[in-house]
Amino acid sequence: MKQFRKMVYPYLLWSTVVIAVPMLLILLYAFTSGGNSVSKFMFSLHNFKRFLTDKTFLEVLYRSLRIAVETTVVCVLLGYPAAYIIAKYSEKVKMRWVLIITLPTWINMLVRTYAWTGILQEDGVINSFLGLFGIGPVTFMYTDFAVILGMVYNFLPFMIIQIYTSLTKMDYSLIEAASDLGANPRKCFTKVTLPLSMPGVISGITLVFLPSVSSFCIPRMLGGGSYVMVGTIIESQFLTASDWNFGSAISLIMAIIIMISMYITKKVDKGEKLEAINA
Amino acid sequence: MSKKKKKIGSTVFMVLMMLFLYAPIIYTIVFSFNEGKSLTNFTGFSLKWYSKMFANKTMMESLFYTIACAVLATAISTVVGTITAIGLSKSRRAVKSVVEQLNQLPIMNPEIVTAIGLLMLFSAIHIEKGFFTMLIAHIMFCIPYVILSVMPKLRTLNPNIAEAAMDLGATPWQALTKVIVPQCMPGIISGALIAFTMSFDDFVISYFVTGNGVSNISILVYTESRRVNPSINALSTLIVLIITVALILVNVIPSIASKKEAKLAVDKDI
């Protein structure tokens, strides 16, 4: 069977060129200055210094993180009950709901986000509805609310499916055991169901936080041209300002922040598990 | 009483959830048939935005590029991904872990990071941005998903069967195409499906690596969203239709095929 081993080599070469080299290029550009040509580079930390000392850039970073955290929190708060309810349904109804939740994610994200621009207008459906009660018109478009709504709308299904999967994998006899031993339903939930579904919540958080923090089409479409997030800065550095060195440095900073936050989430999860075991 | 209340509460919650997820899609479909230009007032039924869409050269071109790129990227990445996965299942651990680590990069990295990396690669080796670069990029991010969906199937495979085929005189090629590939077909098909939808829906990476007037549907929607253009609604409806039909086909064809097979088997017995 050793003859089949050779079949890996073409892909090994391919992935080195199109996956590894681009990552190295980002590193190279981030730590150099002096234009977009590879041939004449000089090591410098100028790009990082520029980002970390400029107040406007730090504000943008703060806003991106805040929006991503808020999106993630809303997704957990909406996604957990939904996953919990679906997991309690009968087998047939369960499958139907999983299909209902995942179906929209198959449709182009830009198309679905674009639809919200019509709904959220000053004279859109929501404002006509609010108008019936004498409220408004409320400005939704080009606000934090619109951006978070757009992100929650796009990423919520991932959260629901992750939590749902961990809830269905759970051993239900544990809950029975807990209630046999005298735990009330609330205690059963907080001491048994919730800790056991934590892995799903964690991977859901990863799947929501990561695209939210780096997204640039949702803030552009629902936040407007002057709504700046980390993703939109990177976009403009590459496509309009063409300062690739600075753009690479920002992407690197973003990637590091994402890695750190993932690490913390995993650590917190592990810490809680240890606590549970010790208790 | 409280149990009943709880049940009503959860039903209401789920109905609202469904409304939230589907309202925008329905809204788009409804307004694609609107007579006026407004995206907020429905003034009457008309198909004029559809005729405008079909007459719009950029829209038709981007639809063509999207489908062409998705079909090519799916075909190439499914073949290469399957071959690589089979090779990986027989490889030494070191090679395996190198490939797996490399594959993790585009999956775990934010799309924008992958996109700028590719943009700089194409510029460093002086390839002009256009359909070719977009295709290369799509193949690049599709293959890891194909490998990921074929690998589990290969792991459950009995290695002795291919061995036996070769002992009985099959060439390695025959063992591959007649024994190994048919057995991991479900994994290959689901890999191809993931690849197709990933390519068809991609925005971020295509947006950075394309050029020379070549754009796909996502890029078109993004650039057109700044002005009012109801043809976008018509295009969106068309996309919803295409994806829905594709999903139905993928779900229905296997069951029809297996029914046919069963029928043939029965016929043979008779």
Digit-coded pLDDT (tens) for A170-208: 888 888 888 888 888 888 888 888 888 898 999 899 899
Which candidate, B198, B216, B194, places its Cα nearest to that of B206?
B216
In a domain, B162, yes or no: yes
Question: Which chain A residues touch B18 with a CB distance below 8 Å?
Answer: 100
Of A36, A115, A221, the CB nearest to B28: A115
State how far the Cα of A218 lies from the Cα of A155, in Å rounded to an integer. 11
Indicate yes or no: CB of A121 within 8 angstroms of CB of B121: no
CATH of domain A47-278: 1.10.3720.10
Of B86, B99, B119, the CB nearest to A15: B99
pLDDT score of A276? 60
Digit-coded pLDDT (tens) for A200-212: 999 899 899 999 9
Indicate yes or no: CB of A108 within 8 angstroms of CB of B221: yes
Domain ranges of chain A: 47-278
- pLDDT tier at A52 (50, 70, 90 boundaries)? confident
Q: How many Cβ atoms from other residues are within 10 Å of residue A12's Cβ?
A: 16
- Give me the interface pTM, i.e. the ipTM: 0.86
Q: Which residue of A has its CA nearest to B199?
A: A108
Q: Is the pLDDT of residue A3 over 80?
A: no
In contact, A103 and B243? CB cutoff 8 Å: no
| Continuous segment of H or E residues that includes residue B210 | none
State how far the Cα of A157 lies from the Cα of A83, in Å rounded to an integer. 10
pLDDT score of A49? 87
Q: Is the pLDDT of residue A39 over 70?
A: no
Phi, psi of A33 (to 5 degrees): -135, 170
Domain that holds residue B96: 58-226
Phi, psi of B42 (to 5 degrees): -90, 115
Which candidate, B88, B180, B181, B102, places its Cα nearest to that of B141?
B102
pLDDT score of B267? 62
**By the CB < 8 Å criterion, does B10 face chain A?**
yes
Digit-coded pLDDT (tens) for B220-229: 989 888 777 8
pLDDT score of A149? 96
Domain count, chain B: 1
Of B91, B112, B197, the CB nearest to A216: B112
In a domain, B270, yes or no: no
Which candidate, B43, B63, B60, places its Cα nearest to that of B51?
B60
Q: Is the pLDDT of residue B269 over 60?
A: no
> Among A15-19, A183-187, B34-38, B96-100, where is mean pLDDT lowest?
B34-38
**By the CB < 8 Å criterion, does B203 face chain A?**
yes
Percent of chain A exceeding pLDDT 90 equals 37
In a domain, B2, yes or no: no
CATH number for B187: 1.10.3720.10
**By the CB < 8 Å criterion, does B103 face chain A?**
yes
Question: Which chain A residues touch B201 with a CB distance below 8 Å?
Answer: 106-109
Higher pLDDT, A276 or A83: A83
pLDDT score of B266? 62
